[in-house]
Amino acid sequence: MKARQLDALATLSGVPVTTLVKIRNGQTADPRIDTVRAFWPFVDQVERPDPVAA
């Protein structure tokens, strides 16, 4: 996940971007369930490629 996607995920979920980066990098190997529940519903939304402008 790229930095802009992490920023979007943080904005949508309310989870700080620093927390998301630590989870992505493995620094937080076992994140709290409340944290995962906050961001998980938005993962697919931010990982979708941007639509190509026609």
Q: Where along the chain do its domains lie?
A: 3-47
C-alpha separations of 21 from 18, 27, 34, 44, 51 in Å: 5, 8, 16, 17, 25
Residue 22, C-beta contacts closer than 8 angstroms, at least 6 positions apart: 28
**Residues comprising the chain, all counted:** 54
Predicted confidence at residue 51, as pLDDT, reads 62
Looking at residue 22, its amino acid is: K
For 4, counting Cβ atoms within 10 Å of its Cβ (0-12 exposed, 13-18 middle, 19+ buried), the class is exposed
pLDDT means per 10 residues, the chain with 54 residues, are 93 97 94 96 86 54
Predicted confidence at residue 54, as pLDDT, reads 47
